[in-house]
Amino acid sequence: MKIHFASSNKNKLKEATKILAIYKIKVESILLECPEIQSNDLEEISKFSVKYAFKEIKKPVFVEDSGLFIEVLSGFPGPYSSYVYKTIGNDGILKLIKDKTNKNAIFKSVIAYCESEDFIITFIGQTSGTISTKILKGNNGGWGFDPIFLPKEGNNKTYAEMGLEEKNKISHRKKSLEKFGIWFKGR
């Protein structure tokens, strides 16, 4: 079984391909830059993007939207994670919360799947953790906020230090894709 994934992010594609393979779902990448609406709600953003992707390719398709929600910053950067990463980056995030004792954060992932103009379904995954006090890349390097996110289930290692295989067992993306995979296979 094959599904199209509209994304221009190679790291997301790699993760989604491995995770959905567990459900015997083959991911076909579509390099499509989907417009994103401004909203505080990842679900709303992903629904808009997947609708756009479906109109473009006219085939069943899914998108994934994610964000890092830092408690002491009232959820910032959340839906603005991509922009914040490109502008202030990991160093900027570490500086923003340098003097805060509360380092709690949640990584969220939303999968939106569309197969007709009036059929869109979403799946949410989230992983709780904390923001590290410094950049911890380990041997694998990671991508995005991987070097500063310490998942609770991660034995005090950042996503980057864990490496792809270990990250894929507990990540926010794993949890949303797992729900999607189970739903898709069970139809």
Chain residues that interact with ligand IMP, rule: CB under 6 A:
9, 65-68, 81-82, 85, 143-146, 159, 171, 173
> Smallest gap, in angstroms, from Cβ of residue 110 to ligand IMP?
9
Are the beta carbons of 56 and 49 closer than 8 angstroms?
no
Q: Which is nearer to ligand IMP, 132 or 171 (CB)?
A: 171
Please state, in angstroms and rounded to a whole number, the distance separating the CA atoms of residues 74 and 49.
25
Identify which of residues 118 and 130 has a Cβ nearer to ligand IMP in the complex: 130
To ligand IMP, the closest distance from the beta carbon of 99 in angstroms equals 24
Q: Which of 147, 124, 106 is nearest to 47 (CA)?
A: 124
Lookup: tokens for 42: 């990842």
Give the separation between CA 111 and CA 104, rounded to whole angstroms.
Answer: 24
3 or 13: CB nearest ligand IMP: 13
Measured at the CA of 128, the angle between CA 80 and CA 108, to 5 degrees, comes to 35
Cβ 87 to ligand IMP, closest distance in Å? Answer: 11
Instruction: Closer to ligand IMP by CB, 35 or 186: give it.
Output: 35
Query: CA-CA distance, 158 to 128, in Å (whole number)?
Result: 12
Closest distance of CB 64 from ligand IMP, Å: 6
Report the residue number, 65 or 181, with the smaller CB distance to ligand IMP.
65
The CA-CA-CA angle for residues 110, 125, 156, to 5°, reads 130
Q: Shortest Cβ distance from residue 54 to ligand IMP (Å)?
A: 18
146 CB burial (10 A radius; 0-12, 13-18, 19+): buried
Residue 41 falls in the annotated catalytic set: no
Which of helix, strand or coil describes residue 84? Answer: helix
Which one of the listed residues 41, 65, 91, 146 is annotated catalytic? 65
Catalytic residue numbers, as ranges: 65
